[in-house]
Structure 1
Amino acid sequence: MDESESRFISSQKVAHLASADETGAPHVVPICFVLEAGVIYTAIDAKPKRVDAMKLRRVRNIIENPNVALVFDRYSEDWNRIGYVIVTGQGTLMAEGEERLMAEIALREKYLQYQEMLPVGCPVIKIEPKRVVSWGNLELDDPHRPDQTNTLR
């Protein structure tokens, strides 16, 4: 992941996490996240859910099949501003440890809502990027710069 991709990802508030179960059945869910030292973290927060956190489909899928993808995108009616970064990698569930705590703190700092909606000690999904693909205008300073580049790593 290069610097422009990291900046673009960090500037986003929502990403979409795609996971699949052991049979390959896909599942996509919007997530809150942080990017720290090239690793993406997302927590199982206290927003209302129909099942227990450990029974969420994304959690079950990552336990069965750690291959995941994330999409970070920006849409605009001005198509010179659209862009995206797609990250594929390995997801793991963290229930304890210093790294999990660091991610929880970083998530609380990024999202004001997490001051109340993120349970202390919550499970965190860690995503280690293996491949990054980006397209379009990833620039944050000049939204009208038509930087239509494609990168693949």
Structure 2
Amino acid sequence: MAYRLSGKVLAFVRTQRVARLATVGPNHRPHNVPVCTVNVGGHIYFASEAKARKVRNLRRRPVVTLTFDRYGERWSQLAGAMITGTAAAIEQGPVFRRARLALYRKYRQYARVAPITAPATVIVRVTPTECFSWGL
């Protein structure tokens, strides 16, 4: 069941350039990597090489956590959101194209430096199921 993110969380997530994605590996150990995300229609999307460990992990166990945070030396201004959800790798089609376009718009260098092309690249869709936030 999808979880609707609050307006404050959505606004915060949209401004963040990087999130940390946690997946669970075959050895039951956490795998945590940075990803560049966009939010479209209540889902969070990012691109990845199809053969990447994070993609292999989420294909086996689709529960993931994304953490977005703002850190500074003034701790009274710390903020973040930890979003748990169900992930799915999208290999082609209209959802792939819409998410790719959104990623290209937010991250101008993507198309030039790391083009999102199937089948070498997948788009991962995260459907939020829980959210914990602070400082928002």
1:138-149 to 2 correspondences below 5 Å: 138=136
Aligned equivalents of 2:68, 2:37: Cα separation in 1:
10
How big is the shift at 1:118? 2.0
Aligned equivalents of 1:63, 1:82: Cα separation in 2:
33
Normalised by the length of structure 1, the TM-score is 0.80
How big is the shift at 1:54? 2.8
How big is the shift at 1:79? 1.3
2:56 aligned with 1:57: no
Aligned equivalents of 2:116, 2:7: Cα separation in 1:
32
RMSD: 1.2
Percentage of matched positions with identical amino acids: 35
Q: Which position in structure 2 is the counterpart of 1:38?
A: 42
2:115 aligned with 1:118: yes
SS in 2 for 1:8: helix
Which of 10, 18, 21 pairs up with 2:25? 21
How big is the shift at 1:56? 1.3
Q: Which position in structure 1 is the counterpart of 2:128?
A: 129
Runs of at least 5 residues in structure 2 that lack an aligned partner in the other structure: none
2:80 aligned with 1:84: yes
Aligned equivalents of 1:99, 1:126: Cα separation in 2:
9
Whether the 8 Å contact between 2:37 and 2:45 is mirrored in structure 1 is yes
How big is the shift at 1:78? 1.1
Higher relative contact order (CA 8 A, sep 6+): 2
Aligned equivalents of 1:11, 1:57: Cα separation in 2:
27
Q: Which position in structure 2 is the counterpart of 1:7?
A: 11
Give a deviation string over 1:114-151, Cα, whole Å, max 9, x none. 12122333310110000011011x2xxxxxxxxxxxxx
Give a deviation string over 1:93-122, Cα, whole Å, max 9, x none. 000110111000000000011121223333
How big is the shift at 1:24? 2.2
